[in-house]
């Protein structure tokens, strides 16, 4: 893949980490977008995101993030499981580890506070 410009890389990273196309575009091109209509900026953001190199980089970054997230969850689960099954751990630590594992795996949900 050809190297991206700095603006393209920043845009791709912003999108891959959850920022909207519009917000990512404004992050990269804020000074040149100040006088433009919001609809025009949104169209420019969408066009910028459709560039093949930018799109490929966004997908690559999203895959890397997903892999890292999955690896982190697996490592956390393994460590918590080790605590939960270790007879030498304090009972309160075992219970705490089991509670966290239950939440991580969706067995328990807490009500949202508004």
Res. 113 pLDDT band, cuts 50 70 90: confident
> Range of 13's domain?
6-104
Instruction: Evaluate whether residue 51 is within a structural domain.
Output: yes
pLDDT digits (tens, 9 = 90+) for 21-57: 999 998 888 766 667 788 888 999 999 999 999 999 9
Is residue 74 in some structural domain?
Answer: yes
Query: What separation in angstroms does the CA of 7 have from each of 14, 35, 97?
Result: 11, 19, 43
* Three-class DSSP labels, 83-107: HHCCCCCCHHHHHHHHHHHHHHCCC
Dist CA 73 CA 69 (whole Å):
6
Q: How far is CA 83 from CA 78, 80, 90, 91, in A?
A: 9, 5, 9, 10
Asked whether residue 88 is assigned to any structural domain, the reply reads yes
Task: For residue range 54-89, list pLDDT tens digits in order.
Answer: 999 999 999 999 888 888 888 988 988 999 999 998
Residue at 110 is within a domain: no
Please report whether residue 109 resides in a domain: no
Between CA 76 and CA 101 the distance in angstroms is 9
Look at the chain and report how many structural domains it folds into. Answer: 1
In a domain, 111, yes or no: no
């Amino acid at each position: 893949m050809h190297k991206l410009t700095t603006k393209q890389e920043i845009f791709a990273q912003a999108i891959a980490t959850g920022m909207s196309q519009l917000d990512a575009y404004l992050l990269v091109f804020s000074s040149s977008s100040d006088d433009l209509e919001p609809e025009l900026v949104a169209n420019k953001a969408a066009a910028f995101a459709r560039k093949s190199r930018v799109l490929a980089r966004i997908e690559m970054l999203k895959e890397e993030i997903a892999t890292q997230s999955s690896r982190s969850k697996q490592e956390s689960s393994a460590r918590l499981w080790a605590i939960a099954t270790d007879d030498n751990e304090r009972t309160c630590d075992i219970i705490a580890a089991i509670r966290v594992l239950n939440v991580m795996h969706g067995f328990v949900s807490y009500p949202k506070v508004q």
